[in-house]
């Protein structure tokens, strides 16, 4: 299963620039907070990065939600399942040699597992929901990232992004401000890209698909019918948001 390279979209106001990622990188989705979107983001990242090379995937969560989801997409996808910190410390550098990119889905708890991942990854992405409580609950994750950066001379690169945001709300504006002030003086960037809350994203694993595949099907159906391009579907907008998010991550990864 490969994802077609993102093409510029005529009817979209969101830019579709392309930045090619440097290879041999481990990108981990980590948060001590449960249910913020680590698995959802990691599964979409796997598919997006597959445009540019081979991708290994590590499901470090005992719930195995990402590996189960990936198996429904394609049982032949390379997925390693382990939530043992020592195994992660040993295997992640080997996987980095083997694949162009390695995506890691961290568990919602189990500090030792997250610490092991932070000891080995090149970039950590922290999904966060735009509620004060969620931003506060990032503090533990941020502290772990800071310790790892201290030990590893600034690595891993770290980004925080808003997921399940509801557009235009006061909460969202406040969340951005709270985040920015909370991250001042830290080596963690808040990404401009935001993934909004959409039913199609919630539905994707149950329907054994992804936003990229849903959007492609809509695009090809439209082409087959020869219909004029009307406004974008929620799936196409979500696809663009993921494209923007991963492009921004790559810009930081490449820098
Ligand atoms: N942008 C979004 N819009 C709508 N639903 C979303 C979005 N992101 C995630 N979800 C849904 O929120 C729930 C939690 O997401 P997910 O499983 O990715 O979080 P997680 O951080 O991996 O959780 P855990 O800590 O339990 O592993 C899932 O039902 C998922 O489908
Ligand atoms: Mg998860």
Burial (CB count <10 Å: 0-12, 13-18, 19+), residue 47: buried
Sign of the CA dihedral running 127, 58, 255, 147: positive
Q: Kindly indicate the confidence band of residue 217, based on its pLDDT and cuts at 50, 70 and 90.
A: very high
Task: Residue 36: name the closest of 169, 175, 234 by CA.
Answer: 175
pLDDT of residue 44: 98
User: Which pTM was predicted?
Assistant: 0.93
The total number of structural domains in the chain stands at 1
For ligand 1, say whether the CB of 64 is within 6 Å of any of its atoms: no
- Can you give the CATH number for the domain in which 233 is found? 3.40.50.300
pLDDT of residue 107: 96
For ligand 1, say whether the CB of 241 is within 6 Å of any of its atoms: no
Q: How far is 130 from 160, CA to CA, in rounded Å? A: 11
110, 63 Cβ separation under 8 angstroms: no
Q: Kindly indicate the confidence band of residue 2, based on its pLDDT and cuts at 50, 70 and 90.
A: very low
Minimum CA distance residue for ligand 1 atom 31: 202
Q: 36: CA distance to ligand 1 center in Å? A: 5
> 98: which residues sit within 8 A by CB, 6+ positions away?
54, 56
Strand order in the sheet with 25-29: 79-81, 55-59, 101-105, 25-29, 123-128, 157-165, 188-196
Q: Kindly indicate the confidence band of residue 17, based on its pLDDT and cuts at 50, 70 and 90.
A: confident
Maximum C-alpha span of the chain: 57
For ligand 1, say whether the CB of 123 is within 6 Å of any of its atoms: no
Q: Kindly indicate the confidence band of residue 34, based on its pLDDT and cuts at 50, 70 and 90.
A: very high
Give the mutation target among 35, 36, 41, 58 for probing the ligand 1 site: most ligand atoms within 8 A of CB.
35
pLDDT of residue 221: 87
Give percent of the chain above pLDDT 90: 74
Query: Residue 16's domain spans which residues?
Result: 3-254
Ranges 3-12, 100-109, 178-187, 207-216: which has the least confidence: 3-12
pLDDT of residue 149: 98
For ligand 1, say whether the CB of 195 is within 6 Å of any of its atoms: yes
Residue 25 has pLDDT above 80, yes or no: yes
- Find where tokens 């990065």 sit: 49
pLDDT of residue 226: 77
pLDDT tens column, 155-204: 999 999 999 998 777 878 888 888 888 888 889 999 999 999 999 999 99
pLDDT of residue 181: 82
pLDDT of residue 180: 84
Q: How far is 189 from 160, CA to CA, in rounded Å? A: 6
Q: How far is 54 from 21, CA to CA, in rounded Å? A: 12
Give the mutation target among 30, 31, 40 for probing the ligand 1 site: most ligand atoms within 8 A of CB.
40
Mean pLDDT of 139-166: 95
pLDDT of residue 87: 98
Rounded to whole angstroms, what are the CA distances from 220 to 129, 199, 201, 208?
A: 33, 21, 20, 19
Mean pLDDT of 218-227: 83
Mean pLDDT over each residue of the chain, to the nearest integer: 90
Rounded to whole angstroms, what are the CA distances from 13 to 130, 169, 237, 240?
A: 24, 20, 10, 10
More confident residue, 56 or 180: 56
């Amino acid at each position: 299963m490969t994802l077609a390279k993102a093409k510029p979209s005529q009817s979209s106001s969101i830019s579709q620039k392309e930045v090619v990622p440097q290879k041999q990188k481990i990108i981990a989705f980590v948060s001590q907070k449960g249910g913020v979107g680590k698995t959802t983001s990691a599964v979409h990242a796997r598919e997006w990065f597959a445009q540019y090379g081979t991708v290994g995937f590590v499901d470090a969560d005992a719930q195995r939600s990402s590996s189960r989801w990936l198996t429904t997409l394609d049982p032949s996808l390379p997925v390693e399942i382990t939530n043992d910190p020592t195994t992660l410390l040993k295997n992640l550098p080997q996987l980095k040699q083997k694949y162009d990119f390695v995506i890691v889905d961290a568990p919602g708890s189990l500090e030792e597992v997250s610490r092991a991942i932070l000891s080995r990854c090149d970039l950590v992405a922290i999904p966060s929901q735009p509620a004060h409580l969620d931003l506060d609950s990032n503090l533990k994750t941020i502290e772990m990232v800071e310790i790892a950066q201290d030990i590893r001379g600034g690595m891993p690169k770290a980004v925080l992004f808003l997921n399940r945001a509801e557009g235009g709300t006061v909460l969202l504006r406040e969340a951005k401000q709270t985040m920015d002030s909370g991250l001042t003086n830290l080596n963690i960037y808040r990404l401009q890209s935001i993934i909004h809350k959409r039913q199609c994203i919630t539905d994707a694993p149950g329907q054994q698909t992804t936003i990229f595949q849903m959007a492609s099907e809509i695009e090809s159906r439209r082409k087959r019918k020869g219909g004029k391009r009307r406004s974008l579907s929620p799936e196409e907008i979500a696809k663009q948001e993921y494209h923007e998010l991963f492009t921004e991550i790559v810009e930081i990864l490449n820098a």
